[in-house]
Amino acid sequence: MALNQALSGINAAQSDLNVIANNIANANTTGFKGSRAEFADIYAVTGINLGATAVGSGTRLADVAQQFAQGDIETTGNSLDLALSGNGFFVVNTGNGYAYTRAGAFHQDNAGNVVTTEGYKLQVYPYSAASGGFDSSTLTSLNLVTPQSSAKATTGATIASNLPADATAPTNAFSTTDPASYNNSTTFTVYDSLGTAHQATAYYVKTGTNAWDVHLYVDGHDAGTQALTFTSAGALATPASGSLGFASVDYGNGADPQALTINFAKTTQYGADYAAGTISQDGYTAGALASIDIDSTGIVTANYSNGQSSKIGQLAIANFQNLQGLRQLGNASWMSSTESGTAVMGTAGSGQYGTIQSGALEESNTSDTTEQLVSMIKAQRDYQANAQVLSTDNTLASTLFNAVSR
């Protein structure tokens, strides 16, 4: 009987070593979760009145339990590298259903989908422009092939400048080609409905005490003339709102005619020299995708070269009632089972779910091999001890057979 007991111990120690070896082998596998061999004793049940002196029949491997402890977070700087701190799994579409992973080393495929190294597509809740939120009722693959950010025509601008109070009114009739016919000018860029840039210039002509005319030209097109007046303290008096509307300009390039409203509320008239001050306008050209941002809650934002941004989706995060019930697929990914229960879906940073760190990866939770090496030494000693039992029992059996044969 001791032979069978020792043999079961050797098999158990070998299984333990196999599990430890797998943990050590995956010490550098991103998102890997180590396992632990768990054993149970074997007891020969002979009846309801089992004797108190009955001896067990050895041991057996009861389970290889996964250890879902958090791995260390390593910064990489790659915006598509994602690490989860806390509970949850990234959801990926394998083509045959959903799988769940902590390995966040994602990249783009040739179709623009964000995928794992195995080609599994990362899943997000799509953004709804109509509601201004994310549709948590459906999952879709994160795709970074986005259309260009559309252009926006300039409709308004703000000019905050200072006109010199001691300026002399020009005697020459106003002409854009005659610098003596105006006192000062401000040039700024505006955009039409196609996103084409045009140069707009406001020419300031003093017409009397505290009174000025503003002539606006856009790419040489006359957009009209409006008047400004100032108080004796140098503040703008008229228009009271500060806004002047100018005539529309047709560029003849297929864009809509453009009419500009310029706000001069912050323009002053002091005795100092002319100062162009600050100029801002509300238009922009079309923009190409420049970068992707993913925040701690998994919201994916596309940033465009024209300074605009738009939301694409929000990463879906899954968790389970019984993590030990998950079935390993390899490649640091799992699938659900009846034991794990159905995936409980949500988003990072809410409820039971951890947060996301972009530009980082979660290392294997066996990356510190010290514990594994200690366990390996113990398993090796168990193996040697059971082997010694086999040797001893064999020696005893040989002695007995030799004695009987005499």
Q: How do residues 253-292 score in pLDDT, each as one tens digit?
A: 999 999 999 999 999 999 879 998 899 999 999 998 888 9
Do both 262 and 195 map to the same domain?
Answer: yes
- pLDDT of 368 > 90? The answer is no
Listed residues 259, 281, 303: the one ending a domain: 281
Examine the fold and report which residue of 236, 263, 281 is the final residue of a domain before the chain moves on.
281
Residue 177 is predicted with a pLDDT of 94
Query: What's the rounded mean pLDDT across residues 323-349?
Result: 93
Query: Are 333 and 273 within one domain?
Result: no
The CATH number covering residue 264 comes to 2.60.98.20
Q: What is the DSSP letter of 81?
A: B
Model confidence at 201, in pLDDT bands (50, 70, 90)? very high
95: left (phi over 0), alpha (psi -120 to 50) or beta: left
Domain span at 102:
73-148+288-362
314, 138 contact by CB (below 8 A): no
The whole-number pLDDT of residue 57 equals: 78
Same domain, 250 and 161: yes
Same domain, 65 and 77: no
106 with 52, same domain? no
DSSP-derived pairing of the beta strands 268-270 and 236-238: unpaired
The verdict on 299 and 341 lying in the same domain is: yes
My answer on whether 210 and 187 are in the same domain is: yes
Mean pLDDT, residues 222-237 taken together = 96
Q: How confident is the model at residue 5 (pLDDT cuts 50, 70, 90)?
A: confident
Do 269 and 177 lie in one domain? The reply is yes
Label residue 327 by pLDDT band (50, 70, 90).
Answer: very high
Q: 156-164 and 268-270 as β-strands: parallel, antiparallel, unpaired?
A: parallel
d(C-alpha 186, C-alpha 288), whole Å = 30
Query: Which are the contacts of 119, defined by CB distance < 8 A and separation ≥ 6?
Result: 109
The Cα angle at residue 311 between residues 150 and 357, in degrees rounded to 5:
140
The two three-digit tokens of residue 318, written as one number: 């899954």
Percent of the chain past pLDDT 90, that is, above it, reads 71
The residues facing 211 across adjacent strands are: 208, 229
Q: Judge contact between 101 and 30, C-beta under 8 A.
A: no
Q: Evaluate the omega torsion of the peptide bond into residue 257 and state whether it is cis, within 30 degrees of 0.
A: no
Rounded Cα gap, residues 149 and 304, in angstroms: 7
Please determine, for residue 75, whether its predicted confidence score (pLDDT) is greater than 60. Answer: yes
| Same-domain status, 266 and 173 | yes
Asked if 339 and 401 sit in the same domain, the reply is no
Residues 331 and 397 in one domain: no
pLDDT per residue over 43-60, tens digit each?
Answer: 766 566 566 666 777 888
223 with 327, same domain: the answer is: no
pLDDT of residue 231: 95
**Amino acid 90: pLDDT:** 97
pLDDT value at position 47?
60
Give pLDDT, residue 76: 94
Cα–Cα distances in Å, from 289 out to 152, 209, 351? Answer: 16, 51, 33
Tell me the helices (H) and strands (E) count for the chain, helix number first: 2, 30
Number of domains the chain is built from: 3
Comparing 9-18, 108-117, 223-232, the range with the smallest average pLDDT is 9-18
What's the pLDDT score for residue 148? Answer: 80
Residue range 234-258, pLDDT digits in tens: 999 999 999 999 999 999 999 999 9
Q: What is the pTM of this model?
A: 0.76
pLDDT band at 154 (very low <50, low <70, confident <90, very high): very high
Cβ-based neighbour number of residue 363 at 10 Å: 20
Question: For the residues 72-92, what does the mean pLDDT come to?
Answer: 94
